[in-house]
Amino acid sequence: MITSYLTHPDFARHDMGGSHPEAPVRLEVIRKRLMLSGLLQQTMQSEAPPAKPLALARVHAPDYLETLASQRPQNGLQTLDNDTRMGPWTLEAAALAAGAAIKGVDLVCGNRADNVFCAVRPPGHHAERALAMGFCFYNNVAVAAAHARAVHGLERIAILDFDVHQGNGTLDIFHDDPSVLICSSYQEAFYPWRYLEGDWRNVVNTPLPAGTASRDFRLAIERDWLPALERHRPQLVLLSSGFDAHRDDPLGELALEHGDFYWITHLAMDIARRYAGGKLVSVLEGGYHPKVLPLSVEAHLTALLGQPYPG
């Protein structure tokens, strides 16, 4: 199993200041843990290139992209909403995050990797077609899906989002698009409070009560996602991999364990093997506990590498 690990040192230049949970330390602790465990050395490591404007414009409105660029501060921070701030290097980091997802698609579609993990920030799944929110500026996984269609000619793509928050941005961009199946699990009645109501044939929402633990999480995923995935038969599986559904994460109230991230990764890989020749790209979204996040990513990467989970 060849697993590619994509990241870039310039992600650290995006800093929303103070004690903001979406901080550069997130990628630092992930890398340290994966180095210590020896998993990182088993991957094919490379740096992400920036996404080109055309790739971003496939999913984001031109006026939105222009407005974001005009709001870039020369120094300090520009507040976009209560959660989301832009610094001088934010858009460079965001372009690299989207570029990592694009490169991941190119690697698996070119048979140069079996699967890919993109260790990126800022996250992307809250970014809508014309709105930055929830720490997100460009929708990384949506950019990757649109690239897969435009450049590689794929006709059926699945986006699986297991963050504690619903991937509203991905829904905003692709709802009612039959070529993209979106499966999103999240804590019910919780941020972002958008796209919770609606009936879209290509969207499977799986709201979970606060406190939901392993057994009920797994049952809900098998009940809701598997039938839709088997009908869709995706040619590529993309993961919005949020690890803030862990029981110790400070931003949510679900109660998942590290092993649940191994389990859902293994499930996604099985779908990819059955329908997509194994092609799977995972893009980091949430996860904000500095001690818990790296262990959850370790479980995720263990599955991507095709190794048994020791837990």
Residue positions annotated with a catalytic role: 126
- Cross-strand partners of 205: 184
Phi, psi of 60, rounded to the nearest 5 degrees: -115, 145
Cβ contact 169:128 at 8 Å: yes
Q: Please give the single-letter amino acid code of residue 208.
A: L
Sheet with 157-161, strands from edge to edge, namely: 44-47, 3-7, 115-118, 280-284, 236-241, 157-161, 180-187, 203-208
Of the candidates 49, 44, 39, which has an alpha carbon nearest to the alpha carbon of residue 8?
A: 49
d(CA 144, CA 150): 10
DSSP 9: G
d(CA 115, CA 272): 10
